[in-house]
Amino acid sequence: MSSDIDALFERTRAEDRAALVGYLPAGFPTKELSIKAIEAMVEGGVDLVEVGLPYSDPVMDGPVIQAAAEQALAAGSRTTDVFDVVRASAAAGAPTVVMSYWNPVDRYGVDRFSADLAAAGGSGLITPDLIPDEAAEWIAASNAHDLDRIFLVAPSSTDDRLAMTVDAASGFVYATAVMGVTGAREQTSSLGEELVARVRSVSGKPVGVGLGVSNGQQAHEIAAYADAVIVGSALVRCLLEAADESSGLDAIRALAQDLRKGVERN
């Protein structure tokens, strides 16, 4: 069955551009402001939203996203709040997925989490620390609730591991183009193009490249070879460094507009 994410990539391919994927944590700095920030991101041109589930042990996240998660948790953000944010994001007109470490999903209950995510209008789940061969419960739940499974591949993935991961994924494959933790970088990694080519050698599924994009020029470089450009830390920083709510939302909208221009291929 075709999902909202499948339809999005059909559209962006027809428009000869990459999709723009934007990440923000739920509840950062408050639930209400995280919803406003996502709405600003979508107004600015983000095609697909990743809602982060704040977690107390974010081993793969860089300092910007860690700081945001800490603020969200300090403000009392809970897993149930994530579904409220997903509902608002989907209502803003963008397919919406949750990005979460596996522990909170497991603790909530895999089928219950999947049912609540689908009921909120969510399209799928990104699981950065879950590998397909340990994901039987999630695969069953995602099939039961028509959710896309977005798994990660990295430059260090062996050919066998990459092929198995891509085969288990749906919606798109998340290619982490740099080794190490997340965060905006001065230059995009040269590993991204090679990794996308490896995925394409085993599948026609869309490939999104993340970790490190902070401006439209970098987005344009990645859009030349990827199906989606994923941006997280740079958007989060707009809120972290803002003097007030209004300027933070303006900064997110402006960055999204710059990135959206960047994902055009002409």
Structure-token match 């600015």, residue found? 44
pLDDT band at 229 (very low <50, low <70, confident <90, very high): very high
Of 123, 38, 41, 131, which is closest to residue 85 (Cα–Cα)? 38
User: pLDDT at residue 219 above 60?
Assistant: yes
Span 225-243, mean pLDDT?
94
**Could you say which architecture CATH assigns to the domain 4-261?**
Alpha-Beta Barrel (3.20)
Residues 6 or more apart whose Cβ sits within 8 Å of residue 250: 40
pLDDT at 248: 96
Q: Which residues are catalytic?
A: 50, 61
AA letter at 248:
G
The rounded distance, in Å, linking the Cα atoms of 41 and 48 is: 10
pLDDT reported for residue 211: 67
Confidence of residue 179 (pLDDT cuts 50, 70, 90): very low
Answer for the pair 54, 65: CB distance below 8 angstroms, yes or no: no
User: How high is the pLDDT of residue 147?
Assistant: 98
Q: Residue 90 — φ and ψ, nearest 5°? A: -60, -40
- Asked if 95 contacts 122 with a C-beta cutoff of 8 angstroms, the reply is no
pLDDT at residue 190 greater than cutoff 60: yes
According to the model, what pLDDT value does residue 189 have? 54
Q: Which of 181, 154, 176 is nearest to 65 (CA)?
A: 181
Q: Is the pLDDT score of 180 beyond 60?
A: no
The 10s digit of each residue's pLDDT in 90-137 is 999 999 999 999 999 999 999 999 999 999 999 999 999 999 999 999
The structure tokens 């080794």 sit at 179
The mean pLDDT of 163-190, rounded to a whole number, is 75
> What does pLDDT average to over the chain?
92
Q: Is the pLDDT of residue 238 over 50?
A: yes
Residue owning tokens 């697909």: 48
How much is the CA Rg of the chain, to the nearest whole Å? 17
| Residue range 64-85, pLDDT digits in tens | 888 888 888 788 889 999 999 9
Select the more confidently predicted residue: 148 or 60. Answer: 148
The string of DSSP codes covering the chain is: ---HHHHHHHHHHHTTB-EEEEEEETTSS-HHHHHHHHHHHHHHT-SEEEEE---S--TT--HHHHHHHHHHHHTT--HHHHHHHHHHHHHTTS-EEEE--HHHHHHH-HHHHHHHHHHTT--EEE-TT--GGG-HHHHHHHHHTT-EEE-EE-TT--HHHHHHHHHH--S-EEEE-SSSS----SS--THHHHHHHHHHTT--S-EEEESS--SHHHHHHHHTT-SEEEE-HHHHHHHHT-SSHHHHHHHHHHHHHHHHHHTB--
The tens digit of pLDDT for each residue in 30-64 reads 999 999 999 999 999 999 999 999 887 655 667 78
Q: Mean pLDDT throughout 161-170?
A: 97
Max Cα separation, the chain? 49
Residue 188: pLDDT above 60?
no
For residue range 194-218, list pLDDT tens digits in order. 999 999 999 999 999 986 899 999 9
5 with 48: CB under 8 angstroms?
Answer: yes
